[in-house]
Amino acid sequence: MLCCASFKNDEFISKRGRPMAEKITKRSEDYSQWYIDIIVQAQLADYAPVKGCMVIRPNGYAIWEHIQQALDKMFKDTGHVNAYFPLFIPESFMNKEKEHVEGFSPECAVVTHGGGKKLEENLYIRPTSETIIWSMYQKWIQSYRDLPILINQWANVVRWEMRTRLFLRTTEFLWQEGHTAHATYDDAEEETVRMLNVYKTFAEEYMALPVFHGKKTESEKFAGALHTYCIEAMMQDKKALQAGTSHNLGENFAKAFDVKFQDANKELRYVWATSWGVSTRLIGALIMAHSDDNGLVLPPKLAPTQVVIIPIFKDDAEKQQTVDAARKIKMQLIEKNIRVHIDDRDQYRPGWKFNEWELKGVPIRMELGPKDLAAGQVVCARRDKTEKTDKITMKLEEISSKIPLLLDEIQKNLFDRAKKFRDDHTFQASSYDELKKYMEDDAGFVQCFWAGSREDETRLKDEMKATVRCIPFDQSGEKGKCIVTGKETNVKVIIGKAY
RNA sequence: CGGGGUGUAGCGCAGCCCGGUUAGCGCGCUCGGUUCGGGACCGAGAGGUCGGGAGUUCAAAUCUCCCCACCCCGACCA
């Protein structure tokens, strides 16, 4: 069912008149099927028995582990510590913050029974942990000396979505949620912006994903926040994907859970809160930003395997010779902290392996056969450039110096390519009709002046299925007329269709 | 919740209109052999409650009715 359409197409029939084993639907033919094909065939995830849920398979989970590792270090470097709060939240907690409960109630899973008996109080499966965490902060905070509290947790959450998509929106997903407590608004605001910048840096440097960072409009912000910041990326179908958010929660949760501290002047004050998170959705972003018709393309910094070595042999003697050489190369690369895998399986032929590792997105493939050994070289193919003419021949003694550079170059090329794509599909509009035309054509992002209200945003959504993705921090300061109301303003926003 | 689609071997499908041997085909899998620089080939095998239920019939994968599941697209959301 996943690739049935492909088989009917002559292009996918090999010269022997037989369908190829696995083929990915072309991106240009059916973008969302292409996306699914990559996930299923690269074995990143599989559909679970429960509707809307997925199993993250080892190939996919390894990417998540690398994301976790990099982010976790960045969190620690900015002073945060990890902790773990329960999955179950008492129903009464959910009801304490008005906007929060309104925002989340409809999409919560609720446990009503345990141990064969109906529970005294229903337990909500966390859709996010603000309430249970602030119920604890209430116990832990008395003095300004207790602040700030900078806690992060890696966890799963559940949101009962009407419609799900692998990685982008599943009923249960993995994420990290930072929850911090501060003495002043300014401290909280500084934290909110700091963490958004961490996300931007991570997206750009690790994921090779250029993002706009800015503020959400009223109608797009988190339920219960004063304001929400976000990073927004463009996927290859020109739609926007929110890749991370950071909220300044003000005193809302402190008031709901009565969390006060005594300041240096002996006065009791409410604590200021922030929260921020990114999820396994980032894996979806990674796929949609970089991959191609041959499969997954991973940025080297997050690729579970960065270099795969394929020894080419036709008998035991050649196998031993090439695998030995491969092991030596592997040792050299490990010393350079490069993640290497040698594919010495003999049930598959080299060509098959080339295709498989390409499908799985490994940045560099090293081909090592008897001819290469005789010439003291290897042939390298980079995943971001798949033409045969892009293959690089490398002397054995150059490998340990050149491969790290090549990985960096691939990382940079992916970013540059994604940035060029986004810039090429970001337009300026000065009239409503112009904006509408761009949206109807699915042209990409539009930058324009904006002084609209919640109602004006609803109009955008109704008339062109588009939303204000963010109000970028980077503003030129020039003045112009709001695209919808005509009011003079110096605020420019980014509008697009979103996931 | 609306629209579309699919359910037959691990995967992808044919067979269904027009009921009738033992339900086929490709891939994958197992065994043996030849191969091995861009998805090799030969031979021999294993593998099925035809999504579920009821009905029509001498006979149902096939006809009728009901139900279920999943996927895709749209309305809510990270």
Sorted by where each begins, the domain ranges of chain A are 4-30, 54-289, 307-421, 426-496
Rounded Cα–Cα distance for residues A105 and A165 (Å) = 21
Domain range A307-421, CATH architecture: 3-Layer(aba) Sandwich (3.40)
Say whether domain A426-496 belongs to CATH 3.90.1510.10.
no
One-letter amino acid at A369 equals: G
Nucleotide whose C1' lies closest to the alpha carbon of residue A387: B38
Please report, in tens digits, the pLDDT of each residue of chain A (499 residues total): 222 222 222 223 222 222 334 578 888 888 888 898 899 889 998 888 777 888 899 999 999 999 999 999 999 999 999 999 999 999 999 999 888 888 887 788 889 888 889 999 999 999 999 999 999 999 999 999 999 999 999 999 998 888 888 999 888 999 999 999 999 999 999 999 999 999 999 999 999 999 999 999 988 888 889 999 999 999 999 999 999 999 999 999 999 999 999 999 999 999 999 999 999 999 999 999 999 999 999 999 999 999 999 999 999 999 999 999 999 999 999 999 999 999 999 889 999 999 999 999 999 999 999 999 999 999 999 999 998 899 999 999 999 999 999 999 999 999 999 999 999 999 999 999 999 999 988 899 999 999 999 889 988 988 888 999 999 999 999 999 999 999 999 999 999 999 8
Nucleotide whose C1' lies closest to the alpha carbon of residue A314: B36
Helix ranges, A173-213 (H): 185-205
What positions of strand B are covered by protein, i.e. any atom < 7 Å from a CB? 1, 6, 11-13, 26-29, 35-41, 69-78
Q: For residue A339, what are the contacts with CB-CB under 8 A and spacing of at least 6?
A: A303, A304, A305, A306, A307
Q: Is the CB of A52 under 7 A from strand B?
A: yes
Residue count of chain A: 499
Rounded Cα–Cα distance for residues A2 and A236 (Å) = 21
Q: Is the CB of A345 under 7 A from strand B?
A: no
Q: Where are the beta strands (DSSP E) in A281-344?
A: 307-311, 340-342
Q: What was the ipTM of the complex prediction?
A: 0.87
Instruction: Say how far A163 CA is from B52 C1', in Å.
Output: 26
Does the bond joining A127 to the residue before it have cis omega, within 30 degrees of 0?
no
DSSP string, A231-248: EEEE-TTS-EEEEEEEEE
β-pairing verdict for A492-496 and A260-262: unpaired
Count of other CB atoms within 10 angstroms of residue A52: 18
What residues form DSSP beta bridges with A260?
A270
Q: What are residue A78's phi and psi, to 5 degrees?
A: -100, 20
Assigned CATH topology for domain A54-289:
BirA Bifunctional Protein; domain 2 (3.30.930)
